[in-house]
Amino acid sequence: MSTAGQVIRCKAAVAWEAGKPLSIEEVEVAPPQKDEVRIKILFTALCHTDVYYWECKGYTPLFPRILGHEASGIVESVGEGVTDVKPGDHVLPIFTGECKECKHCLSEESNNMCDLLRINCDRGVMLADGKTRFSINGKPIYHFVGTSTFSQYTVVHIGQVAKINPTAPLDKVCPISCGICTGFGATVNVAKPKKGQTVAIFGLGAVGLAAAEGARICGASRIIAVDLNPRRFEEAKRFGITEFVNPKDYDKPVQEVIVEMTGGGVDRSVECTGSVQAMISAFECVHDGWGVCVLVGVPKKDDAFMTHPLNLLSERTLKGAFYGNYKPRTDIPMVVDKYLNKELGLDMDKFITHSVPFADINKAFDYMLQGIGLRCMIHLDA
């Protein structure tokens, strides 16, 4: 029986307050409105951004809320005006969007800074009417970055939906919707190391290791990892990391350590932690004259990046990379196809280190808070 146009009741993991375990609840999911898509989520994974906004340390609290943004699923129904996807299509919901009409979307120089659908972590409602599509007994439950994938069904703006090859295994390509593209693209699309160059990667989570994979595929001769968790070092070798630096092992700034190790600095660095101090270190460790630093991690709202202007005048380049410089609707289907055709050189299995049924979603938070593993795949049908 078709559920199009009807309210769907399903299970969702609701965050009722900051830092408290999520609660599995029955929620009502309203039908999609104009330019919206209702998706049956089959797989979702936990990302650090979910944890940051769940903890609300330095961020604006908004509860009750359904978090989650790295996911894969199947279109259940579409709202008025939606022609790009239809029920049954396999899709990846994306935390940022591509309206295909604004100045950014039409620009050849800007890939994913969409004026309409750029990521907004503080907005908890849909754009069409300023209301939520989730509720419990009539009480609104807020959305998160327009995706809210910790629910068996969710409603997403069409501009944040990437239609993908139906032969792609949804559990394997799920991390492409956030972490993998964010890190991999920051290296291959923005930092662009040349064969034989040296690269420093700050942070060895899934995003950082995806960035390391990008450096390996580009042919970097040395890939130096910087992380405070020594348990990550051995595992990181499988992603092309050749050397490891733990800032806690030194009594001087880590950028000075790396400059000494490399005889003047690395050719490229990619920062994937969100720590403003790591960002400064990543910039100051690149070689003068040609070094390029790419910032990927999301800082806290009140953080400030400070470095001496001479570091820039010495012809070091500082860049930011958002979602790996990929356009969500245009590029992600091609990324999935390249993965299927083994053209990317990425082994997605290496990133998925844990798997839990939906009822155990809080275990995924435990793993991440303890620094265990990379991506924990959450099975919403299990």
Catalytic residues: 47-49, 69-70, 99, 102, 105, 114, 118, 178, 375
Tokens of 216: 């390996």
78: which residues sit within 8 A by CB, 6+ positions away?
A: 32, 36, 37, 38, 85, 86, 87, 158
CA distances from 292 to 86, 123, 180, 186, 371 (A): 42, 33, 21, 12, 28
Return the sign of the alpha-carbon dihedral for residues 68, 71, 76, 81: positive
The closest alpha carbon to 225, from 129, 176, 234, 217, belongs to: 234
The closest alpha carbon to 269, from 298, 306, 297, 234, belongs to: 297
SS3 304: coil
How far is the C-alpha of 351 from the C-alpha of 301, rounded, in Å?
A: 29
How far is the C-alpha of 335 from the C-alpha of 339, rounded, in Å?
A: 6
Pairing of strands 23-29, 134-136: antiparallel
Q: How many CA atoms lie within 13 A of 170 on its CB side?
A: 22
Backbone angles phi, psi at 314, to 5 degrees: -80, 15
Q: Give the 3-state DSSP-derived string for 44-81, with helices as H, strands as E and coil as C.
A: EECCHHHHHHHHCCCCCCCCCECCCCEEEEEEEEECCC
Beta-bridge partners for 76: none
The closest alpha carbon to 267, from 294, 240, 306, belongs to: 294
**239 near 209, Cβ under 8 Å?**
yes
The closest alpha carbon to 65, from 121, 8, 3, belongs to: 121
How far is the C-alpha of 132 from the C-alpha of 129, rounded, in Å?
A: 9
